[in-house]
């Protein structure tokens, strides 16, 4: 049989695909699944830089989950004057960028950090996750204790209060535990002055938590009146550490 005829017969009777080299089809850009695709996260940057300029508005009583509380407060600051509102805003924006890169849709309860703005009130912050059917909500704060040597973070979750938080207190506790673990894993110290030193606090008096229908926590990332905590909170590297830890916490909880 001639070489030409043998080659022709081989082509005619070959099993399609047998011993053929594998073919690879490139995925279109952006099609790779990301860990938080389809997830919705609400970030609540505590306070507002201009709250102190609007005392009547922020002291107005609003619903807080079976009782009323002032709309908002001014927040604390470091001894050097770095405001809690600005710290919360900067960490929240870093966290937003990280979560969006992972595929999440992120909503913030406030979109500015300005002296000519106030609020929103705690009832609006509390319900923010409900309106967008979020998977979770994290409220970002810094504490302001004057207790000597008081430093470190703690995570606040709602207690079981029917009808307000009965549907979310268990999942919120799990979110709190995941958040504590993520902060610890980034080398951040647990608060030594509150909640028995274990980093978890459970409260029934916070409208930001009580009015949520989605798992929620409030994080006091450090004590702004403590020199060591303030050093971290005022540094860009420190704020990135907080944002990384909170991003880790979201992934722990959702994955």
What's the pLDDT band for 31 if we cut at 50, 70, 90? low
Assess contact for 139 and 46: CB atoms under 8 A: yes
pLDDT of residue 23: 31
pLDDT of residue 32: 84
Per-residue pLDDT tens over the stretch 54-95: 999 999 999 999 999 999 999 999 999 999 999 999 999 999
Locate tokens 């204790």: which residue? 145
Per-residue pLDDT tens over the stretch 152-162: 999 999 999 99
pTM over 0.85: yes
Helix axes 236-254 and 169-185, enclosed angle (nearest 10): 140
**Does the structure show a pLDDT above 50 at 179?**
yes
Domains of the chain: 36-254 (3.40.630.40)
Say how far apart CA 2 and CA 7 lie, in whole Å.
9
User: Catalytic residue at 100?
Assistant: no
CA distances from 210 to 15, 53, 172, 183, 201 (A): 67, 27, 11, 24, 14
Q: Looking at residues 119-124, what average pLDDT do you find?
A: 99
What are the tokens at 76?
């604390």
- The 3 state secondary structure assigned to the chain is CCHHHHHHHHHHHCCCCCCCCCCCCCCCCCCCCCCCCCCEEEEEECCCCCHHHCHHHHCCEEECCCCEEECCCCCCECCCCCEHHHHHHHHHHHHHHHHHHCCCEEEECCCCCCCCCCCCCHHHHHHHHHHCCCCEEEEEEEECCCCCCCCCEEEEEECCCCCCCCCCHHHHHHHHHHHHHHHHHCCCCECCCCHHHCCEEEECCCHHHHCCCCCEEEEEEEECCCHHHHHHHCCHHHHHHHHHHHHHHHHHHHC
Locate tokens 């860009």: which residue? 236
- Choosing from 100, 124, 133, 220, the catalytic residue is 220
Locate tokens 């207190």: which residue? 169
What are the tokens at 114?
């300005």
What's the pLDDT band for 29 if we cut at 50, 70, 90? low
């Amino acid at each position: 049989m001639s070489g030409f005829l043998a080659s022709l017969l081989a082509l005619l009777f070959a099993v399609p695909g047998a011993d053929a080299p594998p073919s690879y089809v490139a995925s279109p850009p952006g099609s790779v699944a990301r860990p938080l695709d389809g997830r919705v996260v609400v970030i609540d940057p505590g306070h507002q830089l201009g709250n102190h300029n609007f005392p009547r508005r922020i002291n107005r009583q609003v619903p807080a989950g079976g009782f009323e509380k002032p709309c908002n407060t001014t927040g604390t600051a470091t001894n050097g004057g770095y405001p809690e509102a600005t710290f919360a805003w900067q960490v929240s924006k870093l966290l937003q960028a990280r979560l969006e890169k992972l595929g999440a849709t992120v909503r913030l309860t406030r979109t500015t950090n300005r002296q000519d703005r106030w609020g929103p009130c705690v009832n609006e912050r509390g319900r923010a996750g409900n309106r967008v059917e979020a998977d979770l909500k994290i409220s970002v704060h810094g504490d302001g204790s004057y207790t000597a040597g008081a430093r470190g973070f703690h995570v606040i979750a709602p207690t079981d209060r029917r009808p307000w938080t009965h549907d979310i207190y268990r999942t919120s506790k799990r979110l709190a535990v995941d958040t504590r673990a993520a902060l610890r894993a980034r080398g951040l110290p647990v608060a030594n002055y509150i909640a028995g030193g274990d980093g978890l606090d459970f409260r029934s008096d916070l409208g930001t938590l009580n009015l949520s229908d989605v798992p929620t926590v409030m994080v006091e990332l450090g004590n702004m009146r403590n020199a060591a905590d303030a050093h971290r909170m005022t540094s860009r590297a420190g704020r990135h550490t907080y944002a990384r830890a909170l991003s880790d916490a979201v992934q722990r909880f959702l994955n």
